[in-house]
Amino acid sequence: MHVPYVKKTVSVIIPVYNGGDNFRRCLLSLSESDTHPDEIIVVADGDSDGSWRMAEEFNAGILRLPTTGGPARARNIGAQKAKGDILFFIDADVNIARDAISLVIEAFDHDPDIAAVFGSYDDEPFETNFLSQYKNLFHHYVHQTSSDNASTFWGACGAIRREVFLKIGGFDEGFRWPSIEDIELGYRLKRAGYRIRLLKTLNVKHLKHWDVSSLLKADFFYRAIPWTRLILKERKFLDDLNLKISNRISVISAYLLIFSLSGSLYMPHLLFIPFLLLTLLLVLNMDLYLFFRKKRGTFFMLKTIPWHWFYFLYSGLAFLIGFANHFLKKIQGHIS
């Protein structure tokens, strides 16, 4: 018996806090989509700049929260009001590609067994300063070179079946700031037996301006430390995304490089050790550096290398801090 095709409905959910011009660009990109969503729900998370008024101009449904509670809570509230079969979460500082919604629908139609899909930033970041280009191109590379069979989720451009999202309990609202609430949701989905797909053709343009302060704050305090806690809690080291074995070896090598350089000041005959470690770091990450060179040229690539090695150093430090906190909590638990 032939079963007629029923088009899936899509609810786009956008949490926003003082979105400014980037939020307007986000809404404009949605209006130019080749497939329009069945509804757009904007959750104004205690904003003070009137961002929600922009949503009125684009005929979006608006939920205004009196106080800021973070994107996890805002997305959950939007999901409770949504009526679509698919919940498509995007951040307020991204532009979606014209075919993004049609790609999401096609992915769920093509594979009825997947529970969620997510994409990546594109390779043309909006802001032109070095750190914005480096940060977003790095993110693009990591997602584009990771496994299609994903073990996590991404809230900046991620879609999930509504019934699955509600059944799993949504995002963990304990994350009061933009953090790893999406990664944690992905871990729970996988633990419950659901399949997640990294859809590499699904791209969004990141509009955020990154500087030294915002980059380190986000990477160190909002990503690396809480992700370490989650890893230790789940007791699961994934060989994917930022957690590939090559990255772990690179972290260790970066620290050994610092120590060996210091030691070679007193023992010059051991100078070959930092040279070997430097070579190892270059070899392990050469594909990334060649990607940077292809996209932005040799000078840009050379500028990324010290930043990338610095990334290994502060990621390692964050892991040590997260591990120490986890260990101390276990000791306190046993004592109490």
Q: Please report the pLDDT score of residue 313 as a whole number.
A: 95
Range from 76-85, 181-190, 264-273, 306-315 carrying the lowest mean pLDDT: 264-273
Q: Please report the pLDDT score of residue 239 as a whole number.
A: 60
Residue 73, pLDDT above cutoff 80: yes
Take residue 121 and report the two structure tokens written for it.
């930033």
- Which residues sit opposite 61 in a β-bridge? 41
Residue 8, pLDDT above cutoff 70: yes
Per residue in 110-134, pLDDT tens? 999 999 999 999 999 999 999 999 9
Contacts of 214 (CB under 8 A, 6+ apart): 208
**Three-state DSSP class for 301?**
helix
Alpha carbon distance 185, 169 (integer Å): 9
Tokens 């609202």: give the residue.
Answer: 173
The reply to whether CATH 3.40.630.40 applies to domain 10-210 is: no
Per residue in 278-296, pLDDT tens? 999 999 999 999 999 999 9
User: pLDDT band for position 241 (50/70/90)?
Assistant: low
Please state the separation of Cα 30 from the chain's center in Å.
20
Nearest to 236 by CA among 284, 184, 196, 194: 184
Per residue in 295-333, pLDDT tens? 999 999 999 999 999 999 999 999 889 888 877 776 766
Residue 240, pLDDT above cutoff 80: no
User: pLDDT band for position 88 (50/70/90)?
Assistant: very high
Residue 1, pLDDT above cutoff 60: no
Alpha carbon distance 122, 206 (integer Å): 8
Nearest to 246 by CA among 168, 153, 141: 141
Q: Please report the pLDDT score of residue 333 as a whole number.
A: 63
Q: Please report the pLDDT score of residue 143 as a whole number.
A: 95
What number of other Cβ atoms are within 10 A of residue 36's Cβ? Answer: 13
| Cα 183 to Cα 132, 260, 294, distances in angstroms | 22, 35, 30
Whole-prediction pTM value? 0.92
Q: Which residue has the higher pLDDT, 235 or 252?
A: 252
User: pLDDT band for position 7 (50/70/90)?
Assistant: confident
Take residue 137 and report the two structure tokens written for it.
């191109």
Q: Please report the pLDDT score of residue 160 as a whole number.
A: 98
User: pLDDT band for position 234 (50/70/90)?
Assistant: confident
Q: Please report the pLDDT score of residue 272 as a whole number.
A: 83
Per residue in 34-62, pLDDT tens? 999 999 999 999 988 888 899 988 989 99
Nearest to 165 by CA among 39, 11, 334: 11
Residue 170, pLDDT above cutoff 60: yes
Whole-number average pLDDT of the chain: 92
Alpha carbon distance 20, 17 (integer Å): 9
CB–CB of 182/159 below 8 Å?
A: no
| Cα 254 to Cα 24, 228, 311, distances in angstroms | 41, 19, 10
Domain boundaries, the chain: 10-210, 241-335
Percent of the chain's residues with pLDDT above 90: 75
Percent of the chain's residues with pLDDT above 70: 94
β 195-206/114-121 pair status: parallel
User: pLDDT band for position 268 (50/70/90)?
Assistant: confident
Q: 251 — phi, psi (to 5°)? A: -60, -50
Residue 5, pLDDT above cutoff 70: no
Q: Please report the pLDDT score of residue 262 as a whole number.
A: 85
Residue 198, pLDDT above cutoff 70: yes
